[in-house]
Amino acid sequence: MDKTAKIRQLNDAFRSSFKGGRVMLTLGISSKAEHEVTEILENVLNFHDFKKENDPYQEHDFGSFEYKGDKIIWKIDYYDKSLRYGSEDASDETITTRVLTVMTANEY
């Protein structure tokens, strides 16, 4: 499996389960009502609308959707295990911590 395919596989597994990394919510998301946060996170968990426009590198590391008139964005970044530096190889889960951030578009 090439590196891009491995990164995509790891990102899909993380995004669809929230296991294997950290999930961060910005203030724009965390300040919403609990049921709205739950609905937004369910949209992230079930996101499959990857296109050339939002996934040019085919890593499935970014997505957006509309929620009650707001554009919601989620993205996955790759850090070393200490979360201090970027990962040297996002395809190697033994040295990479994935961080998925969910935010409103105006926070991007």
Closest C-alpha to 16, from 93, 95, 74: 74
Element housing 55 (H / E): none
This prediction's pTM: 0.95
Q: How far apart are CA 102 and CA 63, in angstroms?
A: 10
Structural tokens at position 13: 């597994």
Residues 12-29: pLDDT tens digits?
Answer: 999 999 999 999 999 999
Summarised one tens digit per residue, pLDDT across range 21-52 is 999 999 999 999 999 999 999 999 999 999 99
